[in-house]
Chains A and B, each alone.
Chain A
Amino acid sequence: MANNDDLSYNAEPLYAAREPIHPKAIQGRFRRFKNIVLLVAYGFFFLLPWIRWDRGVGPDQAVMFDIPSRRYYLFDLVIHPQDMFLLAGFLILAAWLLFFVTGLVGRAFCGYFCFQTLWTDLFMKVEALVQGDRNKRLRLEKQPWNAEKLTKKGLTIAIWTGIAFWTGFTFTAYWADAPQLFVDFFTLDAVKAAYISTGILTATTLIFAGFAREQVCIYMCPYARFQSVMFDKETLVVSYDAKRGEGEAGRESLKQGLMTLDERHAQGVGDCIDCKLCVQVCPTGIDIRDGLQLECISCGLCIDACDQIMTKRGWPTGLIRYASEQELETGEKPNLLKFRTIGYGLATFAATVLLLYGIFARAPADVSVQQVRQPLFTVMSSGEIQNNYNVKINNKLQEKLEFRLAVEGLPDAEVTVVGDFEGLSVPADSSRKFLVHVRARPEGGVERKDLEFVLTEEDGRIEPMEYDATFVFR
């Protein structure tokens, strides 16, 4: 390293170009698990908007976030604006769950479930399909831009763009009627927002999963950074067992006299044969043997790689494995029932129960009674006093509700609903506002009386609803 005071030294560049990473495909339990997650997640994401659903009122799409009519449709669950606390509850649950899992097994979200990981994975599979595995890709990278390279790179990007577009379109399809949107989209009849969101999602998917990849995790993603805060010494993380791998004399590749474990142990050499397969399969291009690094998304592929080599040699697997820092230092297995785990676990459980309760205990309908405040009361020609009330009824059911209105607390009062119709009917999944006149004889000296508005459903489909109000005499 240079060590001088000469200011004319060759300055290192201020910016570093990304070095493309070409991970080698690997088989094993973690790869299999990742494939299953990929299939299930994509199955849900890409198919959900196309599932049709029968409901009394609203779109016949099973899952639809209908912004103009302010409804979220999730199968038989219809979320109204006033149910938005459910969304807050869901986010709280997701946060606790993330804390719980991360405290226990590290960045499992990053490695197996994050959409950046899933789409990068898929795009790498496409790359491998068109350009071949790691070695072929590396060779192609060094090749001059001839016809072969142009074709292969071009085809890869074309397929990527296709997937990215379908990803963007699928996302947009959650916010509109999917089949109709599909037709409108290509006949150029869809709304501008559909093109903008599909366009943005297509571009970001292509750029992030095709070109930026690990840069997203390292430089852009806040989750990647703050999950480390939830680690402790007992958290299981993907680690290289340095004691076993390095021994006393360090790692050595296989060579004459160092072929078996016995020979190696006799010379103090560790079990790691420095085959670098774990480095080659890493999607973020790090060497797990350097220890825990912020680039590690905890995908477990290096475990698959190392286990494969160890199995081939007939040596015990687990040189790279899920192990806690404490285990690596002392050999002590981590205590999974630590305070943090129990705490986050209970919080997750409580959030789940509350969310489910919130979903199943939603009121089928609600009413609010607001007294008209200007004027609070009016003297009628008969000398009676009139108060006006705005009665707003919200029907969240998929069927029409018919209510009978009664006012308790003023026995002789005359109650009139403005309009020339019988009863208060509220169509399925909508709300109506009624103006109600309540007229009563003044009682000497009484300034106000408490009232209760009672709305009884004609067919008893829901419990009677009550709302307190006040009647003002003067």
Chain B
Amino acid sequence: MSQQTENKKGQVETTGHVWDGDLREYNNPLPRWWLWAFYVTIVFSVVYWILYPAWPYGDTYTKGISSVEYTVEGENGEEKTVSEHWNTRALFTRDMQSSPSALAQQEWVGKVQDMSFEAIEQDPDTLQFAMSVGHATFGDFCAACHGAGGQGNVGAYPNLADNAWLYGNSYETIVDKINNGIQGMMPAQNVADDTIDDLAKYVLSLSGNAEISGEAASRGKQAFASCAGCHGAEGKGNEALGAPNLTDAIWGVADVPGCGGDVACKTGEITHVVNNGIQRQMPAFGERLSETQMRMLAIYVRQLGGN
């Protein structure tokens, strides 16, 4: 110990220099290892500069000699290994391909790929995985139109959180629609002005709106004949055509529930749809999503509303 000097008790060693007659400086020298530790930090930084990107020069920077390798798909679909200088983006890509968590995820994806939809429904863990990935994929590709929870937008985008399915709710159908997209259309009807109000009232009466007088509705039933081609004679819809069921409580295009108790408003909504028709399109996602992603999306969407 440096303090273990021959000094008398209570006296501290000074540097030996005196200013202004009586000013002395205590001598408490730093331990030498401290100096060495400082040199080590300098060596460390030099090693760091050699290994990693560090110094900017001109419009670029020193890249360092350490590298990150990951695979990319080549032009002909074959796997190529790419080596880049160390950077966090490349590290992230590599981790998404070969980190333990990525491998664990790939195992689950493999399960979803191999199992039937029925088997997935029976396995809580695989179902939970498929729903989670489906939810994330939905957020990326579907939520822009259908809403974050699949609630849609009346008049524009179908609500996926209810239990009405224009094209049916089999998993295969849902995957097919995601894959190939949908052209949804109802042609504008040429209904005479004096009957359109009756037609609208008839349509309202189909889903049990008690306030509609039976007389007007029954007059409208004749006019409905031209609608029955798609919506069916009883207005139950047709899944093959995507024609909605008009007898249920769900209004996907005409915002009837938004009218409250105002009958004129309700018939107005329906009249507007009948007169103008519907032209809706969902793009095909087959190019952008893998088969398994579509399967998981289908599982997620299918379970939003239940049966």
- Measured between alpha carbons, how far is A121 from B70 in the docked complex, in Å? 49
Check B205 for interface membership: any CB of A closer than 8 A: no
Shortest B266–chain A CB gap in Å is 15
Whether A370 sits at the interface, judged by CB under 8 Å, is no
Task: List CB contacts (< 8 Å) of B1-46 with chain A.
Answer: 1-4, 9, 13-19, 27, 29-35
Within 8 A of A (CB), among B115-152: 118, 121-125, 127-128, 131, 147-151
Range, interface on chain A:
35 or more
A residues near B58, Cβ cutoff 8 Å: none
Contact A432 B161 (CB under 8 A): no
Q: Is B257 an interface residue (CB 8 A)?
A: yes
Q: In the complex, are the beta carbons of A12 and B15 less than 8 A apart?
A: yes
CA distance A344 to B151 in the complex (A): 59
A18 touching B29 by the CB < 8 A rule? Answer: no
Please indicate the chain A residues that have their CB under 8 angstroms from the CB of B128 in the complex.
432-434
21 contacts between A and B (CB under 8 A): A5-B18, A12-B29, A15-B31, A15-B35, A16-B32, A68-B100, A295-B1, A373-B149, A375-B147, A375-B149, A375-B151, A381-B162, A381-B245, A383-B249, A386-B161, A386-B163, A386-B305, A418-B131, A420-B118, A420-B121, A433-B128
- B124–A421 touching, CB < 8 Å: yes
B16 touches A9 (CB 8 A): yes
Asked if B289 CB lies within 8 Å of chain A CBs, one says: no
Q: Is B182 an interface residue (CB 8 A)?
A: no
Q: Is A260 an interface residue (CB 8 A)?
A: no
Q: Chain B residues with Cβ under 8 A from A77's Cβ? A: none
- Contact present for A3 and B18 (CB under 8 Å): yes
Contacts of A383 in B (CB 8 A): 248-249
**Across the two chains, which residue of chain B brings its CB closest to A430?**
B125
- 0/1 interface trace, chain B 144-170, chain A, CB 8 Å (1 if under): 000111110000000101111000000
Q: Does A419 sit within 8 A of B, measured CB to CB?
A: yes
Q: Closest Cβ of chain B: how far from A197's Cβ, in Å? A: 17
Contacts of B161 in A (CB 8 A): 375, 378, 386, 388
A290 contacts the other chain (Cβ, under 8 Å)?
A: yes
B93 interfacial by beta-carbon distance below 8 Å: no
Task: Say whether B250 faces chain A, with CB atoms less than 8 Å apart.
Answer: yes
Distance in angstroms from A124 CB to nearest chain B CB is 16
CA distance A17 to B2 in the complex (A): 8
A256 within 8 A of B: no
Q: Tell me whether B16 and A1 are in contact (CB under 8 A).
A: yes
Q: Is A285 an interface residue (CB 8 A)?
A: yes
A82 close to B (CB within 8 Å): no
A149 at the interface (CB under 8 A from B): no
For the complex formed, measure the closest distance between the CB of A325 and the CB atoms of chain B, giving whole angstroms: 17
Q: Is B51 an interface residue (CB 8 A)?
A: no
- Contact yes or no, A15 B30, CB < 8 A: yes
Report, nearest first, the 6 A-B pairs whose CB atoms are least far apart: A374-B149, A381-B248, A383-B249, A375-B151, A420-B121, A16-B29
Q: A379-B162, A421-B122 are in contact. List 12 more A-B contacts (CB 8 A).
A: A11-B15, A15-B34, A18-B33, A285-B4, A291-B9, A375-B150, A381-B162, A382-B249, A388-B161, A418-B303, A419-B127, A420-B121
A interface SS class = loop
Query: Which residues of chain B come closer than 8 Å to A265, judged between CB atoms?
Result: none
Cβ proximity bits A438-464 to B, threshold 8 Å, 1 near / 0 not: 010000000000000000000000000
Given the complex of chains A and B, what is the CA–CA distance between A362 and B238 in angstroms? Answer: 56
Q: Report if B91 contacts A (CB, 8 A).
A: no
B304 close to chain A: CB less than 8 A: yes
- Residues of chain B within 8 A (CB-CB) of A212 are 33
Query: Is B18 within 8 A of A4, CB to CB?
Result: yes
Q: Is the CB of B147 within 8 A of A374?
A: yes
Does A19 sit at the interface, judged by CB under 8 A? yes
Q: How far is the CB of A219 from chain B (nearest CB, A)?
A: 6
Q: Which of A378, A425, A433 contacts B162 (CB 8 A)?
A: A378
Q: 0/1 per residue, A372-398, Cβ < 8 Å to B?
A: 111100111111001010000000000
Q: Which of chain B's residues has its CB closest to A426's CB?
A: B124
A14 at the interface (CB under 8 A from B): yes
Say whether B306 faces chain A, with CB atoms less than 8 Å apart: yes
A290's nearest neighbour on chain B, judged by CB, is B9
* Contact code string B296-307 (vs A, CB < 8 Å = 1, else 0): 000000011111
Is the beta-carbon distance between A15 and B124 smaller than 8 angstroms?
no
A381: which of B1, B15, B164 is its contact (CB, 8 Å)?
Answer: B164
Q: How far is the CB of B220 from chain A (nearest CB, A)?
A: 22
Task: Give the shortest distance, in Å, between A289 (CB) and chain B (any CB).
Answer: 9
Residue in B closest to A437 when the chains form the complex, CB atoms: B306
The answer to whether A15 and B249 have CB atoms under 8 Å apart is no
User: Would B122 and A419 count as touching, CB distance under 8 A?
Assistant: yes
A residues in contact with B121, CB < 8 Å:
419-421
**Structural contact, B249 and A9, CB atoms closer than 8 A:** no
Which of B131, B306, B307 has the largest number of chain A CB atoms within 10 A? B306
CB of A364 to closest CB in B, whole Å: 20
Is A214 at the interface (CB under 8 A from chain B)? yes
The answer to whether A418 touches B33, judged by C-beta atoms less than 8 angstroms apart, is: no
B1 x A19 contact (CB < 8 A): yes
> Which residues of B lie under 8 Å from residue A378 when comparing CB positions?
151, 159, 161-162, 305
* B249 & A380 in contact (Cβ 8 Å cutoff): yes
On chain A, the residues within 8 Å of B124 by CB distance are 419, 421, 425, 432, 434
With a cutoff of 8 Å between Cβ atoms, the chain A residues found around residue B305 in the complex are 378, 380, 386, 437
A14 to B25, CA, bound (A): 12
Determine if A16 and B2 form an interchain contact, defined as CB atoms under 8 angstroms apart: yes
Shortest C-beta distance, B268 to chain A (Å), equals: 20
CB of A13 to closest CB in B, whole Å: 6
Q: Which residue on chain A has the smallest CB distance to residue B121?
A: A420
Q: Which residues in B have their C-beta under 8 angstroms from that of A68?
A: 100
Contact status B250-A21, CB under 8 Å:
no
Collect the chain B residues with CB atoms within 8 Å of residue A202's CB. none
User: For B27, what are the chain A residues with a Cβ–Cβ distance below 8 Å?
Assistant: 12
Cβ-defined partner of A420 (8 Å) among B13, B33, B122 = B122
Q: Is A157 an interface residue (CB 8 A)?
A: no
- Chain A residues near B32 (CB-CB < 8 A): 15-18
Point out the residues of chain A lying under 8 angstroms from B13, CB to CB.
12
Q: CA separation between A53 and B234, bound complex, in Å?
A: 69
Please state if B245 and A435 are interface contacts (CB–CB under 8 Å).
no
- Contacting residue for A16 out of B31, B151, B162, B248, CB 8 A: B31
Select B125's contact among A19, A432, A437, beta carbons within 8 Å. A432
A204 within 8 A of partner (CB): no
Give Cα A372 to B305, complex, Å. Answer: 12
User: A295 contacts which of B3, B15, B35 (Cβ < 8 Å)?
Assistant: B3
CB nearest neighbor in B for A373: B149
Q: A374-B151, A379-B250 are in contact. Are A219 and B29 (CB under 8 A)?
A: no
Name the A residues within 8 Å of B17 (CB-CB): 2, 7, 9, 11
Contact with A along B104-123 (1 / 0, CB 8 A): 00000000000000100111
CA distance A256 to B217 in the complex (A): 135
Q: Which residues does chain B contribute within 8 Å of A418, judged by CB atoms?
A: 127, 131, 303, 306
Residue of B nearest to A294 (CB): B3
In the complex, per-residue mask of B268-307: 1 if CB is within 8 Å of any chain A CB, else 0: 0000000000000000000000000000000000011111
